Amino acid sequence: MLGMSTLTSAQVELQEQQPPPSTEPAVELPKERLTVDDMLQKYCGEFGPWQLKNFVLVNLSWTLEALHIMVVIFADHEPQWRCVEGVACDRAGKSVCELKPGSWEWVEGRRSSTVAQWDLICGDKYKVGLAQAMFFLGSMMGSAIFGYLSNSALGRKRTLALVSSLNATFGLLTAVSPYYWTYVLLRFLTGISSGGNSVSTFVLATEPIGPTKRGVAGMSSFYFFSGGIAILSGMAYTFRPWRELYIASSIPSLVFLVAVLPFVSESPRWYLVRGKLDEAMKVMKSIAKCNGKHLPEGVILLLDQEAFNKDDRGSGHKHEEKGSFVVLIRSPITRIRLLLAMSISFVGAIAYYGLSLNVVNLKTNLYLSVLLNAVAETPAYTITAALLGRLGRKGIGVGTFWLSGGFCLIGSLLRSHGKWKVARMVCGIMGIFGMAGNYNFLFLYLEELFPTAVRNTAMGCATLAIQMGAVLAPFVVVLGGGLAFGVFAVCGLVGGSLVFFLPETVNKPLYDTMAGMELGQRTSPGGA
């Protein structure tokens, strides 16, 4: 005990002789704070193996979207019929409505399509268009609902998971619809879930890509949609009964949900604007590592408004900007852009869907016609992507709209018989060519026009306008002849004119916040 007391006293004496510890605060190493775009360009890589994998996996959802939208071309088509042997029947009649009931029958039976299943002909023919219209009405609601959810706490990835599961569920239930009105209800519900797919998919696929690579990558998204239409043609040829076709076109959504989506990452931009800096940095470090790059420890993310406003830099990861429709229309900049974007989306959808659905008027092999229609869209994506950097967003927007509108205008002046019939068909193909390139380009332009905080809300509104145009498109097709082409021509010419009022966004930052965008407008001459 004495030894311990002596030792303790000695230790105390030694400690008293040592100089007191410094009271000055430890100096932290300076941190480099960068926006997402700057960090991608400087350290992580703008488009490497990580972005390629994420881009392909996410965009597979576009392929599934094509199955759910375009399945009605085959499921709701009017099949071939024939006269019943031994019964007086005039096969030369233009329609079965002119024949005596019981004198004719469907060649492939009542299971071949919904038209044959529920006799949606003659006085009930309008029900075919009604079912299609209800799908797009559902899509209008889904665009607004899921556009908001993907911007809020649900996020891009979880929203995509939700809509994929709902698409598969409603699609499988549609296959066992006992009555026509049950079928209509389930198509409406499928439309709601499908409406949220395009918004979440495009944003989730392109937000982690650097600014100089984002344009070309975004323009490549619709290859997956066209590929889905081509796959659907093969499915429909293999599974002729409409119920089997709905099952075949719904199961891939379940496969995507289980086997693909777990390997997809949430957007680092969404994490950042939601105040989740740690999660955002994990994604950025993963991008750098997969791309063979090195992200220094002292580098962290900041919002673009902090980059412009040094007084706001102290907020750090606690900052969170919540996007909503009210915030979107409160700013004069985004309010005007939103009105223009919705108007452009509306007229573009009438022309695109109208020209696409017009394939049934070609009176050729339906499976082959749909396949060729999908293949014809592919060069439009390639050409517009190649010219995107040279002509800019506005140049591509105006050019594709006017190209389509011009050919549709010529088509409206041509006759529909004889040698002019072929010429009108060519005009229709060129019209689809122009609108396919425009439809692909439009989502990229919308993404760049609005900051991350309200981007999905804005794209949800634009998608809502697209669905409104899609609802009207079948009714325009019913007009037939030169009148339908005339409507498509007006849509193309008006759409191109409206693009003139939007700003150029090529090589401009992808803003995160409303404040960052407004500050960028003031510091960039003619900024976007």
Runs of H (alpha helix) within 450-505: 452-479, 481-499
CA dihedral 334, 338, 341, 346 (to 10 degrees): 180
pLDDT, residue 92, reads 61
Mean of per-residue pLDDT scores for the chain: 80
C-alpha dist (Å) from residue 37 to 114, 208, 268:
50, 9, 11
CA dihedral 428, 433, 439, 442 (to 10 degrees): -130
% residues pLDDT > 90 (the chain): 20
User: Chain-centre distance of CA 447, in angstroms?
Assistant: 10
Predicted confidence (pLDDT) at residue 218 exceeds the cutoff of 80: no
Predicted confidence (pLDDT) at residue 4 exceeds the cutoff of 50: no
Same fold, 31-78+113-304 and 329-527: yes
Ramachandran region of residue 294, left (φ > 0), alpha (ψ -120 to 50) or beta?
beta
Q: Which amino acid is at 286?
A: S
User: Chain-centre distance of CA 338, in angstroms?
Assistant: 17
Ranges 1-10, 91-100, 145-154, 368-377: which has the least confidence: 1-10
Please give the structure tokens belonging to residue 349. 């959808």
- How far is residue 300's CA from residue 488's CA, in Å, rounded to a whole number? 50
Closest CA relative to residue 453, chosen from 213, 192, 275? 275
**434-438, 461-465, 497-501: which is most confident:** 497-501
Average pLDDT of the residues in 491-515: 84
pLDDT, residue 58, reads 92
Kind plus residue range of the DSSP H or E element containing 192:
helix 180-195
Kind plus residue range of the DSSP H or E element containing 8:
helix 2-17
Residues ≥6 apart with Cβ < 8 Å to 35:
301, 302, 303, 304, 307, 509, 512
Q: What is 329-527's CATH number?
A: 1.20.1250.20
Ranges 55-69, 359-373, 442-456, 463-477: which has the least confidence: 359-373
**Cβ atoms of residues 454 and 151 within 8 Å:** yes
Predicted confidence (pLDDT) at residue 207 exceeds the cutoff of 80: yes
Tell me which DSSP letter residue 12 carries: H
Q: What residue spans define the domains of the chain?
A: 31-78+113-304, 329-527
Q: Where are the beta strands (DSSP E) in 186-317?
A: 299-301
Name the band, by pLDDT with cuts 50, 70 and 90, for residue 428.
confident
Average pLDDT of the residues in 476-499: 85
Do β-strands 32-34 and 299-301 pair in parallel, antiparallel, or remain unpaired?
Answer: parallel
- How far is residue 241's CA from residue 112's CA, in Å, rounded to a whole number? 4
**Cβ atoms of residues 455 and 505 within 8 Å:** no
Name the band, by pLDDT with cuts 50, 70 and 90, for residue 12.
very low
Structure-model confidence comparison of residues 399 and 311, the more confident one: 399
Q: What is the pLDDT of residues 347-400, one digit of tens each?
A: 999 998 888 777 665 565 677 777 877 777 888 878 877 787 778 888 888 888
Q: What is 31-78+113-304's CATH number?
A: 1.20.1250.20
**Cβ atoms of residues 425 and 355 within 8 Å:** no
CA dihedral 151, 154, 156, 157 (to 10 degrees): 180
Ranges 30-44, 52-66, 129-143, 303-317: which has the least confidence: 303-317
Place of tokens 């902090």: 306
pLDDT, residue 297, reads 83
Predicted confidence (pLDDT) at residue 30 exceeds the cutoff of 70: no
Predicted confidence (pLDDT) at residue 311 exceeds the cutoff of 70: no
Tell me which DSSP letter residue 331 carries: S
- How far is residue 438's CA from residue 324's CA, in Å, rounded to a whole number? 27
Name the band, by pLDDT with cuts 50, 70 and 90, for residue 249.
very high
pLDDT, residue 199, reads 73
Name the band, by pLDDT with cuts 50, 70 and 90, for residue 306.
low
The residues pairing with 81 across neighbouring beta strands, listed in sequence order, are 106
Average pLDDT of the residues in 144-158: 81
Average pLDDT of the residues in 41-47: 87
Average pLDDT of the residues in 91-107: 73
Average pLDDT of the residues in 62-80: 87
Name the band, by pLDDT with cuts 50, 70 and 90, for residue 317.
very low
Ranges 48-52, 308-312, 342-346, 499-503: which has the least confidence: 308-312
Predicted confidence (pLDDT) at residue 23 exceeds the cutoff of 60: no
Structure-model confidence comparison of residues 525 and 356, the more confident one: 356
Q: What is the pLDDT of residues 411-422, one digit of tens each?
A: 888 766 667 677
3-state class (DSSP) for residue 32:
strand
